[in-house]
């Protein structure tokens, strides 16, 4: 049984050390916050200018001027702070963010990440993706193992436009946890009931086990 999205988010939450600063990308990575144990002193950073982001507000408490980088209404936890975008990206680019959990379109075996543009597809823009990918101390990618069409997303080389070179440290998919190390993918863990052969068949690059 491959992991569900919820189980992927739960597995990703185990990667977050107590007392760390974490930026969660738009989409599936946002769900990771729901699986953190209490009392870990983990501070969520959102690049539009908030450190100490809390959960969605209770209905009736939402403020259109208190949002995350996905433009969803959020809350601020006690001890949180607001700041301008230059300060926010100093936190990112300056290496003060311990971990960024990002989505991906493609990841290469050397750690190259492509997650902002599909050739011939709709241009969504770059946003904070390039700064996060090249600036955060550790990059964890959270993605389905293959595309909706069944094509591998983990490849020898990306053919989509890159977000950053050699930035990815670890990938969590619905099938497995893999590290990017010594120029290739290395298996860390299989999802329950998933075989190494299946992961190898669905990975577009050599896999060390």
Partner 1 sequence: MTGRHRDKVQASVEDALAPLFDGAAIMVGGFGLCGNAEALIAGVVDRGVRDLHLISNNAGNMGKGLAAWLRAGIVAEVTCTYLGNNEDLHAAMREGTVKINVVPQGTFVERIRAAGAGVAAFYTPTGVGTVVAEGKETREFKGRTFLLEEALPADFALIRCRRADRFGNARFWRTARNFSPLMATAAGTTILEADELVELGELEPDDVHLPGIFVHRVLEVTEHEDPFEYRTVRARAGEAS
Q: Could you list the residues that contact partner 1 (CB under 8 A)?
A: 46-50, 55-59, 61-67, 69-74, 76, 82-86, 89, 92-93, 112, 122-131, 134-135, 161-165
Q: Which is nearer to partner 1, 118 or 126 (CB)?
A: 126
Q: Is 189 a known active-site residue?
A: no
Taking the complex as a whole, how short is the minimal distance between the CB of residue 179 and partner 1, in angstroms?
21
Taking the complex as a whole, how short is the minimal distance between the CB of residue 99 and partner 1, in angstroms?
17
Q: Which of 70, 82, 92, 143 is nearest to 113 (CA)?
A: 143
Q: Which is nearer to partner 1, 120 or 193 (CB)?
A: 120
CB 136 within 8 A of CB 169: no
Q: Which is nearer to partner 1, 111 or 191 (CB)?
A: 111
Task: Give the Å distances, CA to CA, from 124 to 30, 144, 176.
Answer: 19, 20, 28
Q: What single-letter DSSP state applies at residue 197?
A: H
Q: Which is nearer to partner 1, 161 or 184 (CB)?
A: 161
Compute the distance between CA of residue 12 and CA of residue 167 in angstroms, rounded to an integer: 17
Element (H or E) spanning 100, and its range? strand 99-102
* φ, ψ (nearest 5 deg) of residue 150: 85, 10
Taking the complex as a whole, how short is the minimal distance between the CB of residue 104 and partner 1, in angstroms?
15
Out of 10, 15, 38, 47, pick the active-site residue.
Answer: 47
Coil, strand or helix: which one is 43? strand
For residue 23 the two structure tokens come to 């930026």
Taking the complex as a whole, how short is the minimal distance between the CB of residue 19 and partner 1, in angstroms?
24
Residues labelled catalytic: 47
């Amino acid at each position: 049984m491959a992991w569900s999205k919820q189980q992927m988010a739960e597995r990703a939450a185990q990667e977050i050390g107590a007392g760390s600063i974490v930026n969660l990308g738009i989409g599936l990575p946002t769900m990771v916050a729901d699986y953190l144990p209490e009392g870990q002193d983990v501070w969520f950073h959102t690049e539009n200018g908030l450190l100490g982001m809390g959960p969605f507000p209770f209905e009736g408490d939402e403020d259109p001027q208190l949002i995350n980088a996905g433009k969803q209404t959020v809350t601020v936890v006690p001890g949180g702070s607001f700041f301008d975008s230059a300060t926010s990206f100093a936190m990112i680019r300056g290496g003060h963010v311990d971990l960024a959990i990002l989505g991906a379109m493609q990841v290469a075996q050397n750690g190259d990440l492509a997650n902002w543009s599909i050739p011939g597809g709709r241009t969504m823009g770059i946003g904070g993706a390039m700064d996060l990918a090249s600036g955060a101390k550790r990059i964890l990618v959270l993605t389905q193992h293959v595309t909706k069409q069944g094509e591998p997303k983990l490849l020898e080389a990306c053919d989509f436009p890159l977000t950053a070179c050699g930035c990815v440290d670890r990938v969590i998919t619905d099938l497995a946890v893999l590290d990017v190390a010594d120029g290739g993918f290395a298996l860390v863990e299989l999802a329950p009931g998933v075989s190494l052969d299946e992961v190898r068949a669905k990975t577009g690059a050599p896999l060390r086990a």
